[in-house]
C-alpha cells in the first residue's frame, strides 16, 4: 500500500509545542483533510482541527497552512511526497491546527455575562 508522510505542527491548550509525523495510506486524488480525518480515526484521536462540510468547500472552516501556504484542507491535494501542516500564524492558537477564527460577534466570551 502506498503511503504519504504528513508532518503536523502541534501544541496549544495544555500540550507542548512539537512536530509529529504520520504515515497515511495514500490514494490518488485524496485531500489533506482526508489525511487529517484518517489520522484522527486511526492513529491519534487527540489531534484537533476544524472542518464541517467535509468536501464541498462551502463552510470554509478548514483553512490552515499547507507547506507554509494558507489553504483549505478540503481542496489541497496530497501527493506521495507528503506535506507539512500547521495552524494559521496570524490568529491565537487554541489547540493543534485550531486557531481562534470565530467572528467577534459569534463568541461566547464576547457576551460578557
Partner 1 sequence: MTEEPIHLETDVLVVGAGGAGMYAAIAAARNGANVLLLDKSLIGRGGATIMAQMTVAVAVGEQTPDHWTHHLADTLNAGRGLCDEELAAILCREGPERIREMDEWRVGWTREDGHMKQVMAPGHEIPRCVFVDFLNTGPAVAKTLRTRVARTDGITKISNLSVTDLVVEDGRVRGAVAFDLNGGRAVTIAAGAVVLAAGGLTRLYQRNSASVNMGGESYALALRAGADLIDMEFVQFFPIGHLAPRLVGMDPIMWDPFRYKLGGRLLNGNQEEFIEKYGASDSGTYTAPRDVTSYAIFKEVEAGRASPNGGAYLSFTHLDEATLREAFGPVINRLACNGIDLTKRPIEVAPIAHYHMGGIRVTPEMATTVPGLYASGEAVGGANGANRLSGNAITEALVFGERAGHFAAQAATNKVWNSSWADDAVGDIETMAPDSGNAPTFGELFGELQNLMWQKVGLLRTGEKLEQALSRIREMQAQDLPRMRPQNKGPFALGVQEWFDLRAALATAETIALTALNRTESRGAHQREDLPDTEESQTHNQCVRLSGGTLTLESVPVRRTEFEKVALGATE
Q: Which residues bind partner 1 (CB under 8 A)?
A: 12-14, 27-31, 40-42, 45-46, 48, 51-61, 72, 74-75, 77, 94-96, 98, 100, 102-103, 105-109, 111, 113
Q: Cβ 49 to partner 1, closest distance in Å?
A: 8
**21 or 41: whose CB is closer to partner 1?**
41
Q: Cβ 23 to partner 1, closest distance in Å?
A: 17
Phi, psi (deg, nearest 5) at residue 85 = -120, 135
Query: Comparing C-alpha atoms, which of 44, 55, 57, 52 is closest to residue 15?
Result: 44
Dump strand ranges (E) for 14-99.
Answer: 15-25, 63-66, 69-72, 83-86, 93-95, 98-99
Q: Cβ 82 to partner 1, closest distance in Å?
A: 17
Q: Is 104 helix (H, G, I), strand (E, B) or coil?
A: helix
**49 or 82: whose CB is closer to partner 1?**
49
Amino acid at each position: 500500500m502506498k503511503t504519504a508522510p504528513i508532518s503536523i505542527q502541534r501544541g496549544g491548550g495544555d500540550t507542548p509545542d512539537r512536530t509529529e509525523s504520520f504515515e497515511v495510506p495514500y490514494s490518488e486524488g485524496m485531500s489533506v483533510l482526508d489525511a487529517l480525518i484518517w489520522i484522527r480515526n486511526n492513529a491519534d484521536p487527540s489531534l484537533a482541527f476544524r472542518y464541517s462540510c467535509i468536501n464541498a468547500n462551502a463552510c470554509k472552516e478548514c483553512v490552515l497552512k499547507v507547506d507554509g501556504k494558507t489553504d483549505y484542507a478540503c481542496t489541497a491535494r496530497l501527493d506521495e511526497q507528503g506535506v507539512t501542516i500547521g495552524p494559521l500564524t496570524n490568529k491565537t492558537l487554541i489547540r493543534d491546527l485550531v486557531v481562534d477564527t470565530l467572528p467577534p460577534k459569534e463568541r461566547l466570551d464576547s457576551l460578557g455575562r
